[in-house]
Amino acid sequence: MKNIVFLMNIKLNDSAGRYTPERSLPYEYSIKSWKRWCDKNDVELFTLENLIVPMDEMAICWQRYYLFDILEANDIDYDQILMVDSDTIVHPECPNFFEMTDHKYTGVHNEGSYDWVLRSIENYSKHIFQGRELKWWNYINGGFQIVNKNHKDLFSAMISLHNNNKENFVYMQDTYHTGTDQTPINFMLQINDIETKILPYEYNMMDMPRKEILNENLTMTRVGWVYHFNCIPNNKDNQATLYWMKRTYEELYEN
């Protein structure tokens, strides 16, 4: 059984909304970098290119929780799976993080805007999770999650949670702008008492502009392993993401 890296590369033509054709242009650099890393580490890359259900029934991010059904439908056996966002680049010398999990649910603490994180927790608690509290210091970013077969029931519960609260989730996203699945999966990990492992920031370096390491010197490539190109300001039509991901890939893999 191999370990798997799982990415979504859904191309849509929602010209009036969030998912314009330009949104997916940088993803080719993510996929190429992960393919190179997988080949080096005897890991299999799986890229999902089609929606499981129509987007008006379920946001794209939520559809990754069909992960185990997708792999089984494709007759893919596996040990552990990394679900990673397609706006990431992995360094070619990145250590094999699958060897660091202790076979637990593994992620990276969301080192980004704590105002956003705390507002998201507060509003999801109030409107979805009946006032439950969440330990924000254990809150992981959804863009890097390592799972295994022990987490199949959790993912089924996530799909049920979504389907039973579909209108509430749309209301939450439109009203409070506090994300899609990321805060719910953090609540579900705590509610279901899932044993977790937290890797250092180097394995999911989110919100890099705020930390002043996304710059023309590509400082982030000297201090970590997985670069998550989110929260980039002035990012019209995802052009800034495209610029930085292309530059980073070419620096690491072609120079």
What pLDDT, on a 0 to 100 scale, did the predictor assign at position 12? 74
Count Cβ atoms below 10 Å from residue 165 Cβ, excluding itself.
16
Structural domain boundaries enclosing 70: 4-253
Eight-class DSSP state of 221: G
Sheet order of strands, 105-108 included: 44-48, 4-8, 80-84, 144-148, 105-108, 196-199
- Give the CATH number of the domain where residue 240 resides: 3.90.550.10
pLDDT digits (tens), the chain, 255 positions:
899 999 999 887 665 456 666 778 899 999 999 999 999 999 999 999 999 999 889 999 999 999 999 999 999 999 999 999 999 999 999 999 999 999 999 999 999 999 999 999 999 999 999 999 999 999 999 999 999 999 999 999 999 999 999 999 989 888 999 999 999 999 999 999 999 999 999 999 999 999 999 999 999 999 999 999 999 999 887 899 999 999 999 999 998
- For every residue of 23-45, DSSP letters joined together read GGTTHHHHHHHHHHHHHHHT-EE
Domain count, the chain: 1
What pLDDT, on a 0 to 100 scale, did the predictor assign at position 11? 80
pTM, to two decimals: 0.95
User: 169-173 long-range contacts, Cβ below 8 Å, gap at least 24?
Assistant: 169/59, 169/128, 171/127, 172/123, 172/124, 172/127, 172/128, 173/59
Q: Dihedrals φ, ψ of 15, to 5°?
A: -65, -20
Helix, coil or strand: residue 8: strand
- Structural tokens at position 140: 């992981």
What pLDDT, on a 0 to 100 scale, did the predictor assign at position 255? 84
What pLDDT, on a 0 to 100 scale, did the predictor assign at position 14? 62
